[in-house]
Chains A and B, each alone.
Chain A
């Protein structure tokens, strides 16, 4: 039997946009065990709930993540609205759905670019990020912000999208979808991508379910959980089927994200066709008194914002459980038994967002 050695991976590594450290226990080139360690960018955002009044805290919630900021803000607002029993106007719910799906497109394209870079496919990286610019331009035009949208508030949304803009957005999706089909074809069929990802980083269905895998990490192992099916925002009025793959490897997780690009486009089209006229916000009265676990589907999986109020303008507790935090134990399972050279690809396959996970 070979001698075991421990090799540090991260917190700084070319494949990691954010810092996470792994102690890799190796036997020759094979990983026997991986022990994760985070905490390099813990910001204590949850404690700021004590300093910011509940309507202002949405700005903090949005800044939990620079990629899915809108969904963070929306999930927090949903929680407070539920505690305060606020009936949010339907138009606002549709707008939230549209911006959520653009955020998902933005996040998945960003990840696909990083993934292409991790497997050494630079042209594909550039093609993915070029396509992502289209999404960022739409977000900038409709919300004013490319990264932090700031368009969600307790009781609704801050901005409306005029009907003519919405029509143009839907028309522009046709060309965008064609561009994505070319990119998707490479991700799903190129030999070099398949060679680096198929059979790598295996996660069984049971491990995915009981270790807490969420989002594409779970759906790539055949666990068809997608919180959009609960019908929050306007999802209850739209039709879609979650993308699920059963391979349980890096290829399957990549394929789920590729397929979700087209699901998002379809959902935006449906929402744009059904969005009603009307108000976009309702004014909250009083302060939240109660608690709620608000859940939504982020690009990386299930997001939970727990809010608890005691009738004052400051909440007692905001707890943000992000999908990356819950995807860490499955990552440990995936890494056990893999080759050292595959570690960067496997780590990236869960789409780690450490800023989110540490808050």
Chain B
């Protein structure tokens, strides 16, 4: 099986926009943005690809401070940023299309921000 090399670089939030602009200038496309809650912090991964070379920028945030939108650089980023806001409660400023928390309708607000059932039985006995 061919294994794809993947490079992840952890960067400061203040440097994010400049680095993303650099990727765009080099011709990278935006693959995805995702968020992972690790302890009390959130890891946000910005993935890019150019000719099947996969690169990943990561910022680690506390969820209280706003993060900048990259939708001014990659227009289609708004779906990931709105999703991240709706599921994790990460506040993203400057989105080109801001759904105001209504892109994904959830029964509970920001359901992925505080997952409380890790390791529980799939079907706990009542």
Contact = CB atoms under 8 A, between A and B. Distances in A.
Interface of A: 35, 37-40, 42, 44, 46-48, 50-52, 78, 82, 87-88, 93, 209-212, 225, 227, 229-233, 235-236, 292-293, 295, 302, 304, 306, 308, 312, 314, 316-317, 319, 321, 325-326, 328-330, 358
B86 to A, nearest CB: 8
Contacts of B30: 210, 212
Interface in B70-126: 74-76, 78-80, 83, 86, 97, 99, 102-106, 111-112, 115, 117-122
B75 A329 contact: yes
Given A50-B117, A51-B121, A209 B4 contact: no
A19 to B, nearest CB: 11
27 contacts: A35-B97, A37-B102, A37-B103, A39-B102, A39-B104, A47-B111, A47-B112, A50-B119, A51-B117, A51-B120, A51-B122, A82-B3, A87-B1, A209-B29, A210-B74, A211-B74, A212-B30, A230-B2, A293-B54, A306-B32, A308-B36, A316-B36, A319-B34, A319-B36, A321-B31, A326-B32, A328-B79
B103 A38 contact: yes
Contacts of B83: 325
Given A209-B29, A212-B30, A304-B47, A52 B102 contact: no
Contacts of B34: 306, 319, 321
Contacts of B121: 51
Given A37-B102, A230-B4, A314-B118, A321 B36 contact: no
Contacts of A40: 105
A78 B67 CA distance: 32
B3 A212 contact: no
Contact of A304 (B31, B38, B105): B31
Nearest to A92: B1
A358 B52 CA distance: 26
B29 A232 contact: no
Given A50-B119, A329-B78, 7 more contacts: A39-B86, A50-B117, A210-B75, A227-B52, A236-B1, A319-B32, A330-B76
A293 B6 contact: yes
Contacts of B6: 292-293
Contacts of A87: 1
A266 B117 CA distance: 46
Nearest to B121: A51
B29 A210 contact: yes
A85 to B, nearest CB: 10
Contact of A231 (B2, B36, B79): B2
Interface of B: 1-4, 6, 24, 29-32, 34, 36-38, 45, 47, 52, 54, 56, 74-76, 78-80, 83, 86, 97, 99, 102-106, 111-112, 115, 117-122
A171 B45 CA distance: 46
B122 A39 contact: no
Nearest to B108: A44
Lowest 3 CB-CB distances: which A-B pairs, in order? A329-B76, A231-B2, A39-B105
Nearest to A292: B6
Contact of A230 (B52, B76, B80, B115): B52
B112 to A, nearest CB: 6
Nearest to B86: A39
Given A37-B99, A37-B103, A293-B6, A316 B38 contact: yes
A308 B124 CA distance: 25
Contacts of A46: 112
A141 to B, nearest CB: 26
Nearest to B118: A50
A87 B78 CA distance: 38
Contact of B1 (A88, A225, A329, A358): A88
A212 B4 contact: no
Contacts of A52: 122
Contacts of A236: 1-2
A50 B97 contact: no
A308 B13 CA distance: 22
